[in-house]
Structure 1
Amino acid sequence: MTEEMTLDAAAEAMREAMRKTVRRGSLLYLIQGILLVIAGVLALVYPLITNVALAIFLGWMLLLSGIVQAVTLIGGGKTPDFWLQLISAALSVIVGFLFLRNPAVAVGTLVMLMSVFFMIEGISKTVFSLTIRPFPNWGWVLASGILGILIAVWLLANPAMSLLLLGILIGVQLVAEGIAIATMAWMARKETR
């Protein structure tokens, strides 16, 4: 006999488990939230330094990931598509090394990749919105797609401002995430008193 649970009951059980977890570590979550807000404010004040730090971080991640992938492949014996995976690992190491060697160029590369991402995302959302056109609210998807295309064009047309924008977006994200985590932790601490 299997025990069945309704979707609402499962959702409530998950929420309660999350509440307990947050209550237990509320002080650490509060500290984490405050640190994220501080990091976000620093990123907003120093967006170019943030960009360089991001490029260095990504450089190390790519370099280490490529090395681990190569070692795993070589030590793992017969692997499907061995050479293709080894090429992927080598490219990861090379790109990581290049990012570390010249972080300023890496930041420009990141802005270019963001532009390509926004353009592809914008075009695909625009096409998708036109295919779902009879559905309610299809216009919001269309607006989102057009906005993505406009952002991509703006990023490409204003490379100097784009460099600032990347750091600012990171700062805004860190502040928003920090506030969310700190608020959740603060409310959990108030509940336990």
Structure 2
Amino acid sequence: MSMSLDLAAEVFREAMRETVKRYSLWYLVEGVLLVVAGILAIIYPVISSGAVVILLGWLLIASGLLQGLSLIGARQVPHFWLQLISVILAILIGLLFLRDTTQGLMTLALLLIIFFMMEGISKVVFALTIRPFPNWGWVLASGLVGILLALILWASLPVTAVWLIGVLLGVNLISIGAAIAYLAWQVRKSDAATPTQPPA
């Protein structure tokens, strides 16, 4: 029996909404930690640009691992593979930052452009998948911010400062973290407000 495209889309959305509800605590913790990582990425280049590449590498790895945790048990949802690619990309770029801290700013900027673009696209797809989930627009906005940051960094080439890379990475992590944390918080709040049905 064939299923209409609209019905299939609704089934996928419902699966995604259930996943967000089930793992809302993980999403909340992930969001808060990403915001903290974003603040560090913004503050650190201003204080000392000497070791900023190492810090950015570790922040990318940490953000990749945190977002990877949110994918546990979510293999059946439509955005899984795109989100997984984004997670792997964050970890790989972080490892590249740590492996050779002397590489040129141009290389770092190009790697981050790819990361921002993939992360932005995956968040846009994620947001469109869970709509009309309450507050799905925040996740959509964080994805659009990622795409915008990629374009800003691209426009600044070939002259790119270390502090700009740090600030843009920080803004990206804060926007993703805030959107995910807010979504998870609202889900947990609405679940707590919903009275449980007595068994029949």
TM-score, normalised via structure 2 length: 0.48
Q: Report the counterpart of residue 191 of structure 2 in structure 1.
A: 192
Q: Report the counterpart of residue 165 of structure 1 in structure 2.
A: 164
Q: Is the 8 A contact 1:107 1:163 kept in 2?
A: no
Q: Report the counterpart of residue 174 of structure 2 in structure 1.
A: 175
Does residue 108 of the first structure (1) align with residue 110 of the second (2)?
no
Distance 1:182 1:116 in 2: 24
Letter in 2 for 1:173: N
Displacement, 1:24?
Answer: 1.0
C-alpha distance after superposition, 1:52-110 (max 9, x if no partner) = 2345789xxxxxxxxxxxxxxxxxxxxxxxxxxxxxxxxxxxx96x963x51x225352
Displacement, 1:6?
Answer: 1.4
Q: Report the counterpart of residue 17 of structure 1 in structure 2.
A: 15
Matched residue SS, 1:166: helix
Distance 2:40 2:190 in 1: 31
| Length, aligned pairs only | 121
Q: Report the counterpart of residue 79 of structure 1 in structure 2.
A: none
Displacement, 1:163?
Answer: 1.2
Q: Is the 8 A contact 1:42 1:171 kept in 2?
A: yes
* Larger helix fraction of residues: 1
Q: Is the 8 A contact 1:111 1:155 kept in 2?
A: no
Q: Report the counterpart of residue 123 of structure 1 in structure 2.
A: none
Q: Is the 8 A contact 2:109 2:165 kept in 1?
A: no
Distance 1:18 1:28 in 2: 15
TM-score, normalised via structure 1 length: 0.50
Gaps of 5+ in 2: 61-94, 115-149, 193-200
Q: Is the 8 A contact 1:29 1:185 kept in 2?
A: yes
Structure 1 vs Structure 2: percent identity of aligned residues?
39
Displacement, 1:39?
Answer: 0.6
Which of 53, 62, 80 does residue 51 from structure 1 map onto?
53
Distance change (3 Å), C-alpha of 1:155 and 1:164: farther
Distance 1:26 1:155 in 2: 39
Displacement, 1:171?
Answer: 0.5
Larger radius of gyration: 1
Letter in 1 for 2:55: A
